[in-house]
Amino acid sequence: MHVWRMAATGLAVSVLVPSLVHATRRSALWRRLALPWSICFPGFVLLHAAAVLTHIRPAAVPAPVWAEAALVGAAVWFWLPVLGVRHRLTDPGRCAYLFLAGPVLDLPAVLLIATGDSAGGLAMIVSMLPIGLLATVVTWRWITAEEPQARARAAHP
């Protein structure tokens, strides 16, 4: 059960929430909730670490469900600088944000593995892989959009 919760939470954070934010990014609600990346990123990283580390406990004491619910809710703020409209990062900023987020968000899962919860830690790491995939997609889009602009600048100095 524990491994499934870890995997489900990771997939909610890395797939479900960004899909929802992307589909409704022009929503007035997201505009009101949007915060600068300098608040969203460290806040989410700390909350993520706290939520994952609640799983380091004796097997007889289950981790609280509220920690995972708070994590999924806070994921909205994490994704708004990447996918939202207000306080949206530039293309290079979005690439750096996502490529930095991948390993930083995996650190608590590595600690789980180190403390003996290999299955839970690996479930979290694997379920967060879509963040790296999205970082690659954002980078590719930035590169392909930049190429015609560079050619136009070179043609008309």
pTM for the whole thing? Answer: 0.85
User: What are the C-alpha distances in Å from 10 to residues 30, 56, 70, 139?
Assistant: 22, 17, 13, 22
Residue 73 makes CB contacts below 8 A (sequence gap 6+) with none
Q: What is the pLDDT of residue 104?
A: 95
User: What are the C-alpha distances in Å from 2 to residues 46, 107, 123, 130?
Assistant: 21, 19, 10, 21
**Looking at residues 15-43, what average pLDDT do you find?**
92
Query: Nearest CA to 106 among 119, 120, 124?
Result: 124
Q: What is the pLDDT of residue 156?
A: 78
Asked if pLDDT for residue 107 goes beyond 90, the answer is yes
Structure-block tokens of residue 80: 């708004």
Check if the beta carbon of residue 4 is closer than 8 Å to that of residue 59: no
Angle between helices 118-127 and 2-11 (to 10 degrees): 20
Instruction: Report the C-alpha gap between 150 and 47 in whole angstroms.
Output: 40
